[in-house]
Structure 1
Amino acid sequence: MSRAATTRMGLLEVRARRAVAGKGARLLRAKREVLASELWRLVHDVLEGRARLDEALRRAVKALELAKALEGEERLASLALPAARAVPLAVTVRRVWGVPTPSVAAPPLVRAADQRGSSPVSWGPSGAAAARHHEESLEVLLTIASKELHLARLGEEIQETSRRINALEQLVLPALRSEASRIAAALDERDREDAVRLRRFRARHPRPA
């Protein structure tokens, strides 16, 4: 940081900069508190979502194993091929205290038997159940993915905000306080010297009676 002029205007300038830096640090702390609150809310949602995903995948795997046993892998593979599809995803960005956070949305993924590319009668009950459970798992997965993207972005922004707070509080503000003290001390010393010179001048040049 460059030194300010050792003048009263320089002192006022440094004090004004210190006030702005202090206000900036307070605003950043408020921002971090809001982001942290949002982060902890999301952590709870993500943990809950992962538990739902674990349960959905457990059901899907169990249903698939049963379908393989009852209908055979070859038949299931022949049904899976026409059932394949592209899933359109919509990614939007919202802002929390100016932080862009992505959100992923998809249409409903669980389909009726007649929407899987084959005649409904082609699907046995166990194969249809396995397909449904896997589609349900994908829905849960996409919901969690959106929240985890948001969680990661918030974590990055909290770290960046903390770095900025530390820079202000540990570097900028102490430097400005030190600079203000230096200028104030120099001005005080200058005032004392001026007072001494004035007294000497008056002593040498007394006013006429």
Structure 2
Amino acid sequence: MLNVSATRMELLQLRRRVELAARGHRLLSQKRDEISRQLVKISSSIREIRNSVEKELLETTRRFMMARATMEPEDMRAAIDVPTKKFNLAISFASIMSVKVPELTKDISGDIMCYGFSSTSGELDVALRALERAFDNLIELAEREKQAQLLAQELQKTRRRVNVLEHVVIPEIKETIKYIYDKLGEAERDNASRLMKIADIIRG
């Protein structure tokens, strides 16, 4: 119970506070439910993208190993020593339930194959193209995982606030309101009793 004076003014203020706390609890509960829904949606897409990335990277690694097996080491180094593909990554932010989440936009130019074909294996071509395909999904995976992380953090904070309002703040205020109401009722009964005694004395 809160440490307050048992007055009618305090009672009115506490009633306003409990209404405000109940409204805040309702809004935070809605926010918590929507964040949970968005988190489930993003998590399911992460699973699919991660599976795809793992397959693509496994295929890329296998192709690179085959290319190394069919090429001289110095030819392999010379082929990939001077890349001609340029990559820029821009980060913007979107809002999901007041949570700022990143959105990644890539700008890629040039060709990933930066070598002549006379001293290279066809497996190297296939490996680099596989790496190029995997890169798109890697960027999307990084974006979704960061979004999920930020939403999970916000969900945890929102749950804590909902629990504090539901189990601490609102019960405390209601208990205090009941206490003040009982005290005021007791004071009114005492006053009525005194007035009746005074009336009896006057009549006597």
Answer whether contact 1:71 1:127 (CA < 8 A) is retained: no
Matched ranges for 1:1-209 at <5 A: 3-83=3-83, 87-108=87-108, 112=111, 116-119=113-116, 123-206=120-203
Superposition deviation, residue 3 in structure 1:
2.9
TM-score w.r.t. length of structure 1: 0.89
Higher mean Cα deviation, 76-85 or 146-155?
A: 76-85
Alignment gaps of 5+ in structure 1: none
Give the aligned CA root-mean-square deviation in angstroms: 2.1
Count of matched residue positions in the alignment of Structure 1 and Structure 2: 204
SS of the residue aligned with 2:101?
strand
List per-residue Cα deviations over 1:77-96 (Å, max 9, x = no partner).
21211116663111111111
Q: Look up the equivalent residue of 1:136 and give its one-letter code.
A: R
Report the Cα offset of residue 173 of structure 1.
0.8
Query: Secondary structure of 2:166's partner?
Result: helix
Separation in structure 2 between the aligned mates of residue 4 and residue 137 of structure 1, nearest angstrom? 64
Question: What SS does the aligned partner of 1:93 have?
Answer: strand
CA distance in 1, matches of 2:195, 2:76: 105
| Cα distance in structure 1, aligned partners of 2:20 and 2:117 | 69
Shift of 1:2: 5.5
Extract unaligned runs of 5+ from structure 2: none
- Of Structure 1 and Structure 2, the greater strand share is in 2
**Percent identity for Structure 1 against Structure 2:** 25
Q: Answer with 85-94 or 19-28: which moved more.
A: 85-94
Measure the CA separation in 2 of the matches of 1:51 and 1:128.
Answer: 23
| Cα pair 1:82 1:116 within 8 Å, conserved | no
Shift of 1:170: 1.3
Distance 2:176 2:44 in 1: 46
